[in-house]
Amino acid sequence: MIKKLKFKKEIFGYIIRYKKKNGVNFLTPSNLNHQIAVIRHKKNHIIKPHVHFKNIRKINYTSEVLIIQKGKLRIDLYSNKKKYLFSKILVKDDIIILIKGGHGFKIIKPTTMIEIKQGPYNKKKDKEVFKHIGSN
């Protein structure tokens, strides 16, 4: 299941809670600049060798993918103007893609997550930290 993180008509990201089924299962819309799939195959399955073509893409904003490996946390979502919008709870095996606006987190239970974003990453040019205003 993929749930849009939507405020008014704008999509700020997606939360993915997936069923573990066999094969290659893409979970994201094909127009996102991060494509996520769950791949499960039985023993001795062969994935044919392949190469990917050079394909120049323009990336306007850094997007992030977080994979929650354990724990529980709350994500707080903000507009591009740093106005608090809403919060969601994430738990083990959730995947979240953040594509717009701002975000912050509150750890509810000890949490381990993997973060994936486009690079190269420049902390001075790619990120601005601001004060949390919203639910506690």
Residues 4-27: tens digit of each pLDDT: 999 999 999 999 887 777 888 887
Task: Specify the pLDDT at position 10.
Answer: 92
CA proximity to 67, closest of 90, 86, 88, 87: 90
Task: Specify the pLDDT at position 133.
Answer: 66
Task: Specify the pLDDT at position 135.
Answer: 58
Task: Specify the pLDDT at position 90.
Answer: 97
13, with CB counted inside 10 A (0-12, 13-18, 19+), is buried
Mean pLDDT of 26-43: 84
Task: Specify the pLDDT at position 8.
Answer: 92
Instruction: Band the pLDDT of 66: cuts 50, 70, 90.
Output: very high
Task: Specify the pLDDT at position 98.
Answer: 94
Residues 82-119: tens digit of each pLDDT: 999 999 999 999 999 999 999 999 999 999 999 998 87
Mean pLDDT of 25-34: 80
Give the 3-state secondary structure percentages of the chain, helix then strand then coil, rounded to 5: 5, 45, 50
Question: Which residue do the tokens 């990336």 mark?
Answer: 59
CA proximity to 34, closest of 57, 10, 4: 57
